[in-house]
Structure 1
Amino acid sequence: MKQTFIKKEGHPRLMLFFAGWGSEENLFRHPVEEGYDYLLCFDYRTLDFDYTLIEGYTEIRLLAWSIGVWVASRVFTGHSFPWQMKLAVNGTPFPIDDRRGIPEMIFKGTLEHFSEDTLTRFRRRMCGSSRQTEEFLSHTPTRTAEELREELAALALGITAYGSSSFIWDRAIIGNRDKIFPPRNQHEAWQGTEIMETEAEHYETSLFSRLLEGKGEEWTRH
């Protein structure tokens, strides 16, 4: 796993973001709320995590998107940190699951037939519109298709080997237009967890900008 500080200014609080599969730092170089450092995690070909990078912070906001929800759940099971809020977005702790995640046949088919064309189609479904796809591509993704295939294969092995975990999330945001993690499956996965719904695709620039900047009610405990 790669852990990259997008902002490190010695603040006592940290925004810790686990991005989804295929992410890189160009995609999430958003401003964050004043008073916070910002650490981005991505590239899950291994789940190795350097916990020393987040030691010493007095408050941590944990934000995870897509399959990053499962990764963060695995990384922090059995570990205690000063969480201010743990917020999951368009993902579940059960990423390969017919009822609570991505349907198994779709996940396996994506991996078995992975190619540049598969990646292009996935990004279109993830973004949901030509405008949003163009915005996504404007961040000039640099990781190769082979690298992304390796990451997807590693995730498939890890999910099969480890399954879900006991990590508890405070809140889940569900995009009602998500075409990757079906909204119905997300609702099933998050029974017993506070849910906020939004009219968003799986990847939505405006949603991530708002969350990283700490705007809106998502970070407010009810």
Structure 2
Amino acid sequence: MKQHFIIQQGHRHLLLFFAGWGMDETPFTSIHPIGCDWMIAYDYRSLSFNDALLQPYTDITLVAWSMGVWAASHIRAHYPHLPIRTCTAINGTPFPIHETKGIDPLLFEGTLKNLSRASLQKFQRRMCHSATAYKEFLHIAPQRGVEELREELAAIGRQANLLLPVLMQWDRAVIGQNDRIFLPDHQLAAWEKQAVSVTRVDAAHYEATLFEKELQNPVLKEKQP
């Protein structure tokens, strides 16, 4: 796993964001949260995590998206000492490959088997709400090669089969009603028996305005009653 600071200015509060499969920091560098440092974690070819980078922080706001929800669940379980105050899941579940609570296994295997530059572009188009949103995404698309993404997807599949699901306590789950990757019904099924505040929004799997809303002012959000 890679951990990249987008903002590192000596704040005591850290916004820790776990991105989805195939991502890097590029789509998110325009977001500048106020009053905190800002780290993105991505590339789940392994779940290795350097918790020493988080030692300076007294408060951590954790936000995870897509496959990042699964990755963050395992990191939280392995490092329970981290001073995480709130946890928000966006368009993802702790069950990355699941018939009713995640991505359908047949769809996952088909994506892995047939991954190419063309199929990646189709996947990215399905992430976005419209052709216009997709064109905007292409200007800030991750700078990673197809073979690397194939390795990451295969590793997620292996780890998901080997590791038991970790049902950490999430505070909020944000579900995009137009998500065509993690289907809304699957997300609801994943969260229905957990004490999670569910918010349904008019959003696709990737929605720039949703990320801006959830990531822009995490310190202020934590202070709200």
Please indicate, yes or no, whether the TM-score normalized by the shorter chain is above 0.5: yes
Matches within 5 A, 1:50-89: 50-78=50-78, 79-89=80-90
**CA RMSD for the aligned pairs?**
1.6
CA shift, 1:30, in A, is 3.0
Query: Which residue matches 2:109?
Result: 108
1:17 aligns with 2:17: yes
Contact 2:22 2:142 in 1 (8 A): no
Question: Any idea what SS the aligned residue of 2:174 has?
Answer: strand
Question: Any idea what SS the aligned residue of 1:156 has?
Answer: helix
Q: How many residues are paired up?
A: 221
1:40 aligns with 2:43: no
CA shift, 1:168, in A, is 1.4
Contact 1:19 1:65 in 2 (8 A): yes
Q: State the TM-score, normalized to the length of structure 1.
A: 0.94
Superimposed CA distance per residue, residues 34-70 of structure 1 (whole angstroms, 9 cap, x where no aligned partner): 2100011011111110001111311110000000000
CA shift, 1:211, in A, is 1.2
CA shift, 1:33, in A, is 2.8
Structure 2 residues not aligned, in runs of 5+: none
1:156 aligns with 2:157: yes
Q: Percent identity?
A: 43
Q: 1-side partners of 2:222 and 2:134: how far apart?
A: 27
Contact 1:30 1:209 in 2 (8 A): no
User: Given residue 32 of structure 1, which amino acid in structure 2 is its aligned partner?
Assistant: H
1:197 aligns with 2:200: yes
Q: 1-side partners of 2:58 and 2:82: how far apart?
A: 9
Q: 2-side partners of 1:196 and 1:221: how far apart?
A: 16
Query: Which residue matches 1:173?
Result: 174
* CA distance 1:201–1:140, change in 2 (3 Å): closer
User: Which of 205, 211, 215 lines up with 1:212 in the alignment?
Assistant: 215
Residues 68-77 or 23-32, more deviating = 23-32
CA shift, 1:31, in A, is 3.0
* CA distance 1:207–1:219, change in 2 (3 Å): farther
Structure 1 residues not aligned, in runs of 5+: none
Contact 2:87 2:171 in 1 (8 A): yes
